[in-house]
Structure 1
């Protein structure tokens, strides 16, 4: 691994550490999402505590964090596994932000942004899977879990050389959702329509 690669990975973590949910809620004079709703500083909880516009802004920024770093790394010809490390670094920054006491979101939007440079066909399939599971089940967390589980298989079908880095990132997102999975198995996970959005 070259010094440039290490620098890019470090920059990815720092960019990931910029918590748009906390910043945007502050700008809109909304409650800190870490202390309200689910306590998760992500777009879904911002929708709950601050409304649609702040939530959309958070979603866009979080997706862009992943896209900008991975796309930039792709264009300087980093190897697929190194791209996976960049993607993991930006998601780790989002999940454990240096600038916000290491209390961050679950990384789904940022991971999706990291998947985008692989191709619009993969992105479209991931969106279809996520929306389908959400529509059928009503569980946002289940939609995320199923989508990231299928992501490596879909990537292998579309661009096999990126299946390993996608699998690396998917494992991180699944690990972050382990509490959601336990609640789902126990029947204790609330559905989107059951939450006060």
Structure 2
């Protein structure tokens, strides 16, 4: 006999669900944590990550997303997800039905993570993400290490929110609460690729 069991973990209001695939043209994209957790973990396993950098990664992973969520839900959020195993590129690709532009200069990256990528201390998960999602992306930058950061799988990564309005105001409130958030891009009308990195 096959047995199948379920359990109820909580209760939600169906009118207050944030979808992960309903971004709209004109939305601003806010990311609430820096990237690079797995690159630092990979560097750590081979003794190539300074303690201070690894401690910063652990602190980022330990920080709950509930605080950022409490602020973001005050605003008109069209779509939201957390950035975990599929990396920023993978999770953003699920969010977008048009095209998303990532502004690489706005990205927050954990200290030492990009340097780990420059030393080719890649993760298996990051390479799987690259294989799965690279065809969806137009990299207008010439920076292979930054590409690795964008494909890097995150453990307890930040929230990625697509806001219809007041993106700057939401960002100010997040920063005032000590949350290292940034507006990392926006949604534009459909282009040849689902994601453009500039």
Instruction: Please give the TM-score of this superposition, normalised by the length of structure 2.
Output: 0.28
Which structure would you say has the larger Rg? 2
Higher strand share: 2
Which protein has greater RCO, CA pairs closer than 8 Å, 6+ apart? 2
Instruction: Please give the TM-score of this superposition, normalised by the length of structure 1.
Output: 0.28
